Amino acid sequence: MYLREARKLASDRLREAGIDRPWFEADLLICSIIGMERTLLLAHPERPFPEHLIPELKAAIERRAAREPLQYITGVCEFMGRAFRVGPGCLVPRPETELLVAESRKYFKGGLFLDWGTGSGCIATSILLDNPGSRCVAVDKNPVALTWAWRNLREKDLLGRCLLCHCSSLERIPVPSPGFEMIVSNPPYIPSAQIPELMPEVERYEPRSALDGGEDGFDHYRSIVGWAPSALVPGGVLILEAGSCFEEVSVLIQ
């Protein structure tokens, strides 16, 4: 099989499964399996697709056709211009969450911060890399998500500056004295009843614990906004991502 045929095989199947950009996604699957840049793939359709990788390609196509998120299959997701490892058990980082990291640059001047619901660790990692002297406590209630955060922090040599903590209630978070300089979070904020209506990639595959914000979607905001003042230093900052139910993307308590 040539690369041209591999592209056609994959894109035909993905189109049939209702994937929006079948050629593009077919290319990304092929590139991740054979370890090739997309420009090279497009420039050399006459090259052979390695025979021994055909079963892997077919399995990847079927996973995607079943609407598993592309990033779970390739194992990577770009966030703030860096590659993060992701897979079943953690939320795929969203582009809009980059806004939260960008906001943190305006308010965080270094020190210790908390990332509540760290998932893949994309927020904690990005802020630690932005602020070389900073340290972080990164918490998640899902132990599988924490394994992804651990991988990402390790790969970027940040384990020495981040305490990963498996913890489901705010009251059990280790709060150092005198408190955090900043708390950041992209909490689950989808109203429970809307979860079945989400796209299959999200509804079937992403962890419900990373999505479900309770009956009105506000459960986690209520708890964190109530708890944050006791965990922040005076003048500390709380930055939260919010869904479309909020007019403001960030809620700041100073």
* 3-state SS class at 42: helix
Between the CA of residue 133 and those of 127, 128, 161, 162, 181, what are the distances in Å? 11, 8, 9, 12, 13
Which two three-digit tokens encode residue 162?
């981040």
β-strand pairing of 232-240 with 180-185: parallel
> If phi over 0 gives left and psi between -120 and 50 gives alpha, with beta otherwise, what is residue 168?
alpha
Q: Which stretch binds ligand GLN (CB under 6 A): 6-14, 61-69, 119-127, 221-229?
A: 119-127
Burial label for 214, CB within 10 Å (0-12, 13-18, 19+), is middle
Residue 69 is a binding residue for ligand GLN (CB under 6 A): no
Q: How far is the CB of 98 from ligand GLN (least distance, A)?
A: 10
Q: Which amino acid is at 104?
A: S
Considering only residues 135, 186, 218, 239, which one is a binding residue for ligand GLN as defined by CB under 6 A? 186
Residue 117 is a binding residue for ligand GLN (CB under 6 A): yes
Contacting residues for 129 by C-beta, under 8 A, at least 6 apart: 82, 156, 158
Phi, psi (deg, nearest 5) at residue 103: -60, -40
CA-based torsion, 110, 115, 121, 126: positive or negative = negative
Looking at beta carbons, which residue is closest to ligand GLN? 119
Q: Which stretch binds ligand GLN (CB under 6 A): 38-46, 112-120, 160-168, 225-233?
A: 112-120
Q: How far is the CB of 226 from ligand GLN (least distance, A)?
A: 19
Contacts (CB under 6 A) with ligand GLN, residues 74-103: 91, 93, 97
| C-beta of 121 vs 179, nearer to ligand GLN | 121
Considering only residues 22, 87, 188, 217, which one is a binding residue for ligand GLN as defined by CB under 6 A? 188
| C-beta of 22 vs 119, nearer to ligand GLN | 119
Residue 127 is a binding residue for ligand GLN (CB under 6 A): no
Residue 183 is a binding residue for ligand GLN (CB under 6 A): no
Q: How many CA atoms lie within 13 A of 103 on its CB side?
A: 21
Q: Which stretch binds ligand GLN (CB under 6 A): 24-32, 59-67, 183-191, 194-202?
A: 183-191
For binding to ligand GLN (CB under 6 A), which residues are involved? 91, 93, 97, 117-120, 122-123, 186-188, 210
